[in-house]
Amino acid sequence: MLAGSSPGVTVAELAAAGARRISLGSALARAALSATLAAGRELAEHGTFGFSRGVLTYAEANALWTEDGV
């Protein structure tokens, strides 16, 4: 089941419908690109840094590259 473009569907609903494998396709990459574009637009249009609220800390990001992860 390709679910990456179906924001109204949940994993639980797909499982209940019999899906055993769910693919996101390019959804995660497109989400990251969308966030990057939104941040750039905010900087260019408003000169603000609101996009940085809720982002990973440096320590959290660095921990992703260790064997233990976050």
pLDDT surpasses 70 at 1: no
In a domain? residue 47: yes
CA-to-CA separations, 49 to 4, 34, 39, 57, in angstroms, rounded: 28, 16, 8, 15
In a domain? residue 30: yes
pLDDT at 40: 97
Q: pLDDT tens-digit profile of 19-38?
A: 999 888 898 999 999 999 99
CA-to-CA separations, 14 to 21, 29, 36, 37, 68, in angstroms, rounded: 9, 22, 30, 31, 31
In a domain? residue 70: no
In a domain? residue 23: yes
Selected residue with higher pLDDT from 28 and 45: 45
Is the overall model pTM greater than 0.85, yes or no? no
Question: pLDDT confidence of 60, banded at 50, 70, 90?
Answer: very high
In a domain? residue 4: no
**How many domains does the chain contain in total?**
1
Enclosing domain of residue 54: 11-63
In a domain? residue 1: no
pLDDT surpasses 90 at 58: yes
